[in-house]
Structure formats: C-alpha cells, structure tokens
Structure 1
Amino acid sequence: MLKTRYFVLYSLLMTAIVVASNFLVQFPLGGTLAGINLADLLTFGAFTYPISFLITDLTNRQFGPGTARKVVFVGFVVGVALSIALASPRIAIASGSAFLVGQLLDISVFNRLRQLSWWKAPLMGSLIGSVLDTVIFFSLSFAPIFSFIGPNDDFAIASAPIFGVLAAEAPRWISWALGDFAVKMLVGIVMLLPYGALMSVVRPMSARTTA
C-alpha cells in the first residue's frame, strides 16, 4: 500500500513537470542581461524540466530501477497525451522521445553509481541524461530536417548571434539548446540540495536498492 501511494505521487509529480515543461518551452525569456538578448538564449521550460531527474532519482533510490522506469513510462504516456493539447504535436513528440531516452539513461547511470558518494549518482545521471535529452528534444522540435513531424517555428530557425552576443550566428534553436543545457546543469546541481535533504526520509525499501 505504501509503495502504491508513493508510486501514484511520483507519477503525478512527473506528469505535472512534463506537461509544464512542454508548455513553457514555447516561451522564450524576455529582456536582456549583460547585453544578452535572453530570447535568443533560453525558454522558461529550461527551469522546470530538470526537476524530473530529481523525481526519477528519488523513485530509483526508494524502490529501485524497475519502479523508476514505470514512473517514467507513466510520465511519458500521460505527459505526451496532455501536452498535445497544450503544445504543438511536434513539441509533444520531441519532448516525449527526449524524455523517455534521457530518463531511462539517468536510471541506468544512477543505478550503476548508487554505491558511491551520495551526490555522484544523481549528478552524473542527470548530467548524462540531460546531454542526450537536450540533443534529441531541440533537434526534433526545431531542426528543419525533422519538419516532416510538423511545421518549423520561423522564430526558432531564424539566424541569431550564438548566446545572443557572439559574432558567429546559428539558428536560434541552437542557442536555446546550449542555454537550456547550461541551465539544466545549474538546476541539476541545485537539485542535489533537496535530494540530500530527503535522503533520510526517502529510504530504500529493500537491501537490494541500498544507496
């Protein structure tokens, strides 16, 4: 019964994060910072999505990789279905694909490293998962080669200075991907704080999943 309650809780949290991130990724930040046009660098989705790795890692720590994968699949199915109503089908497909691959990779890395120092498994899992997630999501969402999935976003594919300030130019979605990954890493490091704080509460349920 306890496991079922936690499974439902983790699944609801995961779904909420996926849907919110799919919706927020459509909105670039406004304004400038130190001369950088933030619309060329970041979307709001970059700040919410890294929380999904925290949810996956807590599930993995408490119940093991099998249950963590089930939570990921629930987040994938429900999140994509709801995201189609809140975002474009192309964004939903790209997000679902990136989410599934990135989260499953995070689970594998976390499980391999869980016997090391408490912070190494969640940090390396989110780092490696985020690399693949970012590449898959932004390529499928905005790269012209994948336009068969859905129409291109003219603002996203228009040329702009990389990071909003460099002389070299690239499609704006490239800067979004780079900025998104940088924020994911920053938020991933910050997420170690709640992970560490919850370690005494979220304990492994069996000796086989000891972290």
Structure 2
Amino acid sequence: MNFLTRYLPFVAAMALVVVASNILVQFPMQGQVGGLSLADLLTWGAFTYPFSFLVTDLANRRYGPAVARKVVFVGFMTAVTCSILVPPFLFRHGLIEFETAADRLVRIAAASGAAFSAAFAFAGPNDSFALEAAPLMGMLPVETMRWVSWALGDLSVKLIIAVVALIPYRLLAARWSQPAVAVGA
C-alpha cells in the first residue's frame, strides 16, 4: 500500500479543512451583538481552520510524527493549489458572489501557512476593507486596522474551540494511541 492510499483520509481531511478555511476567510461574519459588529471581529474561516490542528494531532497519534509531517505537507500543498484554483471555479458557477483576484488568493493561501511556518508571515492583508480603521475587537473605543481585530477574534475562537474540543479529542486520541492489534494474534 503506497503513501497516498494509506494516508489518504488524513491528507484529504487536511486539504478540505484548509481549502474551506481559505475560502471562508474572505467572508466577514455579518450581524451585531449589542454594540459589537461581528464583521469587525471575525471571518467564517476562524471556525474551520482550528480543525487542521485536530487532523495534524490525530495523524501524529495514529502514525507518529514523521508520517504526520508528510500528511500535513501533502495535504497543505494540495490545499494551497486548490485554494488558488477553486474560488474562480465557484465564482464561474455562481456559488460565490464575487471574483477573487489571483494575487489575493495567493496571499490567502500563503497566510494560512503562517499557522504552520513563520516563513509566510510576510503575506499580510492588502485590501481596503482589511486595512480600514475599525473599533478594536469591534467595540472598544480604540481604533485599529480591521485585520488586527480579525486576528484577535480568530485567536479567541481557536481558544474556545480548543477548550470545547478537548473532550472529543482525548477520546479519539486515547483510542489511537494504542497500536492496532492484529486479529487472530
């Protein structure tokens, strides 16, 4: 059994999570909670991207760090390619309402890699909406660029998901931390 077929579920899960997140990060959440404008605080990608860490951790538990690194690399490279190719396809077929410029797609794909490698940190926001001044965290009296609030909102969501996901993660991790036993042995 070769690498791709044996580890395909993990590679596919990593690619799916990263592609979905790279598309959803282009959509700020709409709505108000009291005086808090959600568009100034969160994008939809904040809710999906933390699952890439779950895939990484589960692959590490199941197959060890060396294989997990390969899974993450192959899944992430697949996701970067798809993150550049899929949004124009979705736009052409009417599934998303705006066309994304190629340079923006490349920045988004590279920026998602910043979660795994600081080498991509140079790829920052470069569009007017992300650079506009907005209340910090969508409600504080201090104004800053909207992307700063998005970063803080994204971190907050990741911390909340980490706390909520610890129980299911521990259950899955405990199951996979034991080597598989051959039937009839």
- Aligning the two structures, in what range does the TM-score lie when normalised by the shorter sequence? 0.7 to 0.9
The 3 A distance-change label for structure 1 pair 196 and 6 is farther
Which residue of the partner structure matches residue 100 of structure 1?
Answer: 116
**Per-residue Cα deviation, 1:18-64 (whole angstroms, up to 9, x for no partner):** 00000000000000112100000000000000011111111111111
Q: Is the 8 A contact 1:13 1:55 kept in 2?
A: yes
Which structure features the higher share of helix residues?
1
What letter corresponds to residue 100 of structure 1 in structure 2?
F
- Give the Cα–Cα distance (whole angstroms) in 1 for the partners of residues 3 and 61 of structure 2: 13
8 Å CA contact 1:63–1:205 kept in 2: the answer is: no
Count, aligned residues: 163
Q: Which has the larger radius of gyration?
A: 2
Deviation at 1:205, TM superposition (A): 3.5
Which AA in structure 1 matches 2:129? F
Alignment of 1:90 with 2:64, yes or no, is no
The reply to whether residue 140 of structure 1 matches residue 156 of structure 2 is: no
Correspondence 1:169 to 2:161? no
Q: TM-score, normalised by structure 1?
A: 0.70
Counterpart position of 1:63: 63
Cα distance between partner residues in 2 of 1:161 and 1:199 = 40
Task: Compute the TM-score of the two structures, normalised by the length of structure 2.
Answer: 0.80
Q: Which of residues 168, 171, 178 is equivalent to 1:194? A: 168
Residues 161/177 of structure 1: CA separation in 2 closer, same or farther (3 Å cut):
same
Equivalent residues in 2 for 1:1-211 (5 A)?
Answer: 1=1, 7-85=7-85, 86=87, 88-96=105-113, 98-101=114-117, 136=121, 140-142=123-125, 152-205=126-179
What CA distance in whole angstroms lies between the structure 2 residues aligned with 1:68 and 1:49?
17
Structure 2 vs 1, CA of residues 32 and 184 (structure 1 numbering), >3 Å: closer, same or farther?
same
Match of 2:93?
A: none
Measured on the aligned residues, the alpha-carbon RMSD in Å equals 2.4
Q: Indicate the SS of the match to 2:144.
A: strand
* Counterpart code for 2:124: S
The AA in structure 1 aligned to 2:68 is A
Structure 1 portions without partners, runs of 5+: 102-131, 143-151, 207-211
Q: Which amino acid aligns with 1:9?
A: P
Name the residue aligned to 1:146. none
Q: Which amino acid aligns with 2:78?
A: V
2:143 counterpart letter in structure 1: E
Q: Distance in 1 between matches of 2:165 and 2:52?
A: 10
Change in 2 beyond 3 A, CA 1:22/1:4:
closer
Q: Matches of 1:4 and 1:205 in 2, distance apart?
A: 21
Q: Matched residues in 2 for 1:8 and 1:61: separation?
A: 16
Return the alpha-carbon distance in structure 2 between the equivalents of residues 3 and 82 of structure 1.
20
Task: Look up the equivalent residue of 1:89 and give its one-letter code.
Answer: V
Distance 2:3 2:107 in 1: 35
Deviation, 1:192, is 1.3
The residue aligned with 2:97 is none
* Identical columns (%): 48
